[in-house]
Amino acid sequence: MLPTLKLGARGDLVKVAQILTAFPVVDGEFSAEFETHVKNFQEDHALIADGVIGAATRAAMAGNAPTVSTKKLPRSAYALAVQLLVGVTADGIFGPKTKAAVVAYQTAAGLSADGIVGPKTWAALITGEKGDEPGKGKVLNPCVHYLQWDKRWKNIMYSNHGDRGQNIGNSGCGPSSMAMIMATMIDSTVTPVEMCNLALQGGYRTYDSGTGWGFFKYVADRNQGFSKFVKTGSMATALAAIRAGALVVCSMNSGDNCFWTKGGHFIALCGVDDSYVYANDPNKSSHPRKQLQSKFKGCMKQAFIFYKEA
């Protein structure tokens, strides 16, 4: 969903708001001119004209948005808005990759996965609501917390070429994050040790940088207790999945002044509210850690979503 936006904000989500309120300049700057435009939009929709894009204005934007698909408005500013929301290349052309990202989002949000962005999908993307259901506010799904540097396993070698300098403590964040989800959803006895061994067995331990992304689908495919697995680069899809009760391993970069990492790192995403995301970090003892959604969007490289069998 869109966060609250006001004068001084900038970025892709402001571009989305500019498109959905029919502002003539889509530059991502919440300028004084755009503030005036928002006030006019609010007046036109019988809202309090304060120039701040909050819940009521988001709902009006979603309700005003046209249906977009490969057949309807396939090349348009509205297609661009969809792309900015679901995290694919934003070229304004609703093609196969955009449709696939929309289907992934709809699947995560529990919507009809038809790849068509109609009223219910717009409502979910813009307001965080599923159809006519009220928003859920804060959702914090249960999730075991493991530390990769726990003394029980931090010095256990995790290397595909016998390098004793590579251990769970310094390079086991991926299997440790996966172990959190396994222990929560499948088997409470699973620890980072078993997940590191599985990564080695499957050939997903990289030579020097940690664990390959393919490991997470490998785990999902081996465990029938997971009802569904989705890989996505879209924060919106990941957060919709959290609201649907899923847990998510996220690959993070050094954005936001190295909040999560100085290089690459994996965490277990487990919560969301109107402004923040919440995640268990295998490298930090305090949990869950929270970060503004606007910051998290710039840090998340890829998300691996796990749903538990009902």
Do you know the residue count of the chain? Answer: 310
Write out residues in the chain with pLDDT < 50, as ranges.
Answer: 131-135
Whose structure tokens read 């396994």?
182
Q: Sign of the CA dihedral 151, 154, 157, 158?
A: positive
Inter-residue contact 260 to 280 (CB < 8 Å): no
**In CATH, which of 3.90.70.10, 1.20.1050.10, 1.10.287.3510, 3.40.50.720 is domain 140-308?**
3.90.70.10
How confident is the model at residue 130, as a pLDDT?
60
Q: Which residue has the tokens 């499948």?
A: 186
Among all chains, which residue has been given the structure tokens 């299997």?
A: 175
What predicted TM-score, i.e. pTM, was given to this entire model?
Answer: 0.73
Which residues have CB under 8 Å from 275's CB, separation 6+? 3, 4, 292, 293
CB 239 within 8 A of CB 246: no
pLDDT of residue 52: 95
- In this prediction, residue 109 carries a pLDDT of 84
DSSP output for the chain: ----B-TT-BSHHHHHHHHHTT-S--SSB--HHHHHHHHHHHHHTT----S-B-HHHHHHHHHHPPPBSSSSSSBSHHHHHHHHHHTS--SSB--HHHHHHHHHHHHHHTS--SS-B-HHHHHHHHHS--TTSPP---EE-------TT-TTTTTSB--SS--TT-BHHHH-HHHHHHHHHHHHHT-TT--HHHHHHHHHHHT-B-SSS-B-THHHHHHHHH-TTEEEEEEES-HHHHHHHHHTT-EEEEEE-SHHHHSS-SS-EEEEEEEE-SSEEEEE-TT-SS-SEEEEHHHHHHHEEEEEEEEE--
Give the other-Cβ count within 10 Å of 229's Cβ. Answer: 16
CA 165, CA 144: separation in Å to the nearest integer? 27
Domain ranges of the chain: 12-127, 140-308
pLDDT tens digits for range 145-167: 999 999 999 999 999 999 999 99
Supply 36's token pair: 């005036």
Q: Looking at residue 53, what is its pLDDT?
A: 95
Q: 5-26, pLDDT tens digit by residue?
A: 999 999 899 999 999 999 999 9
In this prediction, residue 55 carries a pLDDT of: 87
pLDDT on residue 136: 55
* CA 144 – CA 129 distance, rounded (Å): 27
pLDDT of residue 182: 97
At 310 the pLDDT is 64
198, with CB counted inside 10 A (0-12, 13-18, 19+), is buried
**Cα dihedral value 65, 69, 75, 80, nearest 10:** 60
